Amino acid sequence: MRDLISIEDLSAADLVSVLELADDFAEVQARDMPKVPALRGRTVVLAFFEDSTRTRTSFDIAARRLSADVVNFSAGASSLKKGESLRDTIETITAMGVDSIVVRHASSGVPTMISQWTDAAVVNAGDGWHQHPTQALLDCYTIRERMNLVEGEQPFAGKRIALVGDIKHSRVARSNAQAFTKLGAEVVLVAPQTLLPSSIVGWPVSVEASLDDVIGDLDVAYFLRIQKERMGAGLLPSDREYRTRFGLTVDRAQYLRPDALVMHPGPMNRGVEIDPEVADDPRAVVLGQVANGVPVRMAVLYSVLGPGRFDEQDAPTESEGQAEPAGDPMATASPSADAAVASGAVGA
């Protein structure tokens, strides 16, 4: 993998490979010293042209736990404010010798353009209404983990997942619909007509107009944020009416199966998409999604920057997987496990 721009570019085998690699980094996360030298000497730039809490922070933590150097680029404090073009900005950053650029932008297609302007590996952290591939990966990882679905290239076969809410403006919906179906799930979109895309040709999904018609037959109920900042006027009569028809209210949650999962990519509008009491229900795994973002993004960064990305002579040597001298903050509790991760011998 050179770049990660879209889930569409990944096969089911690719998805499973990243999830399995994330298992190893989840084990690293559980250590007293949750750090490995797998990307030591690499530089990762977080170029976020749009506000973010969860995605930016988890990429930052993920890169540092792989021992990469991290640069947080702020568009508001850059020469973009002086009229510099996006291309000149990216080429300037690249000229400083960075290895990867993690990009979030309000306009669809920007990460694709950036990948044409730089030799650094580009990871899409969300672009407009288009894609959010690492969110889809961490959501797949959460479902797989909570339901113990670890076998085969289509571990979600037989599972029914509903994406509920603002499908029209959601990059998460597009990425997740592709990822879930590639892993074998049946995906249904549930939304008011005004919040559906103008066309779903090519979407591997079905559509339902009523949440009540499907709520009792779901393995996963995935609720999307109402993105008022992207909406025109008149798409929703009111928050109250939306909650009544499409929100996971306390009453509606009673029809969910006991083993169903409730998911949301955040930030959550409590009392609109999900009632506060339901958000704290044991079936709600929202904080689990957030936590899983770190090992999954570690797996993504390793996939674009690790030995598989470079020629053999660029791969970390065996010594890079060994523990550092006592007292060094890079020292880890399990040198042999670190060597396996750093060398790419996952699961060895």
Catalytic residues: 54-55, 82, 104, 132
Rounded Cα gap, residues 303 and 105, in angstroms: 22
Would you mind telling me the total number of residues written for the chain in this entry?
348
Bridge partner residues of 274 (DSSP): 248, 270
The torsion angle over the Cα atoms of residues 216, 243, 206 and 219, rounded to 10 degrees, is -30
Element containing residue 110 per DSSP (H, E)? helix 110-117
CA 292 to chain centre: 9
**Taking a C-beta distance cutoff of 8 angstroms, is the pair 28, 295 a contact?**
yes
**Taking a C-beta distance cutoff of 8 angstroms, is the pair 129, 155 a contact?**
no
Tell me the residue ranges of DSSP E strands in 151-267.
160-164, 186-190, 206-208, 220-223, 261-263
Q: Which amino acid is at 327?
A: G
Of the candidates 23, 110, 100, 40, the residue with the CA atom closest to the CA atom of residue 299:
23
Rounded Cα gap, residues 46 and 60, in angstroms: 8
CA 97 to chain centre: 26
